Structure 1
Amino acid sequence: MRIAIADDLETDLQVAASKVRQYIEAAYPEAMKNFELDTFPSAEALLESFEAGKYELLILDIFMADMTGMEAAEAIRLQDEKVPIVFLTTSQDYMLEGYRVFAAGYLLKPLTEHLEEFSHTMGHILPSILEEECFISTTVNGEELEVLVSKIVYLDINVRHKLCIHLVDTVFETPMLYHQCQELLIDRKNFIECHHRIIINMDYVKRMEADSFLMQNGDSVPISQRRKKETKALFMHYLVHR
């Protein structure tokens, strides 16, 4: 699980990071082995680093200088419709604005004076995030690797007839067999086999074209003629029910 926090007040940023880490260590100690926490001193710094699918949770101060947390959230929603966004705020007056970006919750500052509300909000959001965390164990260059399923954009077979797993920020070849990955992914609601030995994660589809999917990373993934009708129906169902 990877979380990002953005706040232009250094003390508040460090307090938020500390409280998030302490909460996860206490409530979900098993999640700590795959836990990453990135902190940013401004909304602009976060947006420079942001990519769809990179984070499982964003915590944004709503009153940052220059670009506000709300403005950052609106920019993020253009790239990633699903990532939960929680706002840090000193006032409840702006809570209604969060509907525009489907805010998952609010944390009142200073956090040290609102720990009960903090625990309630985190306890509401984190279980669903952690439930979705599933890993595929494989080997890359002789080293054991656990791949977070939610980070898989698509997988295919390369010219060397090896399975390639395309993640948000990298691609690697693995000795794992295609059918092994297929068995693990194909029954998940967001994965679909659109072509012989190609499986995509529909969470990362930018748009469906006549004979291909354009993925958010810019890759074009083909749709076979034989699977086109079924693929279109499944993708439409996914869009309606996601």
Structure 2
Amino acid sequence: MKIAIVDDNKPDLKLLGGFIAGYCRENRVDYELAAAAGGGAFLHGFCAGRYDLVFLDIFMQGMDGMEVAQKIRETDGDVLIVFTTTSSSYAVKSYRVRAFDYLVKPFSYEQFCQTMCLCDKALAKKRHYIEIKEGRVIRKVLLEDIIYTDYANHYIYVHTKTEVVKSYLSFADFSPMLLSFPQFLCCYRNCIVNLDHVLMLKDRDFEMTDGVRVPIKKEWYQEIRQKYADHIFGEMEREERV
């Protein structure tokens, strides 16, 4: 997740940066963080698609946050904007620039986490997909639709909720597309499962939501069982925060 903070109050900027680091660590979110001490400095390096989420203070010297948001929306209609401010008087105006949320200072870490959970879910639906070539066509496959993948005779088979996508691709070239996301795990030679689609761990196999049982390599079993348990507890904690 690529995140930017725009705030000319250094203590507030530092506090929010700490909140972001804490949330991403607890929820195993890969992130990149940029900070700007004013709207002009932020817009100087801004371009559409550069960030997934922008935390934007409204009351700043020079260009205020509402003006910055309007400039953002001139070129980028997708980035999530969360206003952070000491007053709720701009709440109605924030909808004109399609703000995702509005945090009134001082807000607690728990309040922040509630907003981040909502952002996380919104971004997951919008941007998480892989592109692979099937025949002569480039296919976009949503991560949430992938149940598991396997490999045979130089082809990757991506098993989704509705179909199997077949691509002439080595496992070494394909696997980094998925293994950079925490919900995907290599459990056997050339086989990757989506832990979000695991129903249960049974007799050293993963039973998947489509009824298929995917084996776990004997030498990896203890480590994989722990990772699966960590994933389940992580999901439970995230649900409790929302």
Structure 1 length normalisation: TM-score?
0.54
Question: d(CA) in 2 for partners of 1:187 and 1:108?
Answer: 34
Q: CA deviation at 1:182?
A: 3.3
Name the amino acid aligned to 1:66: G
Question: d(CA) in 1 for partners of 2:136 and 2:104?
Answer: 43
2:142 is equivalent to residue 182 of structure 1? no
Q: 1:129 aligns with which of 123, 127, 131?
A: 123
1:92 match: secondary structure: coil
Distance 1:109 1:25, change over 3 A: same
Distance 1:185 1:7, change over 3 A: same
Name the amino acid aligned to 2:85: T
Distance 1:182 1:75, change over 3 A: same
Name the amino acid aligned to 2:110: E
User: Gaps (5+ residues) in structure 2?
Assistant: 144-242
Distance 1:134 1:102, change over 3 A: closer
Name the amino acid aligned to 2:39: A
Superposed CA RMSD: 2.4
Distance 1:43 1:179, change over 3 A: same
1:184 match: secondary structure: strand
- Match of residue 119 from structure 1: 113
- Superposed, 1:67-216 pairs within 5 Å as 67-111=63-107, 114-134=108-128, 136=130, 179=134, 182-185=137-140
Structure 2 length normalisation: TM-score?
0.54
Deviates more, 1:123-132 or 1:177-186: 177-186
Distance 1:134 1:82, change over 3 A: closer
Distance 1:64 1:36, change over 3 A: same
- Match of residue 154 from structure 1: none
Question: d(CA) in 2 for partners of 1:105 and 1:123?
Answer: 12
The count of aligned residue pairs is: 143
1:50 match: secondary structure: coil
- Superposed, 1:23-102 pairs within 5 Å as 23-27=23-27, 29=28, 31-32=29-30, 35-102=31-98
User: Gaps (5+ residues) in structure 1?
Assistant: 137-148, 150-176, 189-242
Q: How far does the alpha carbon of each residue in 1:138-189 deviate from its partner, in whole angstroms, 9 at most, with x for none?
A: xxxxxxxxxxx6xxxxxxxxxxxxxxxxxxxxxxxxxxx965683432899x
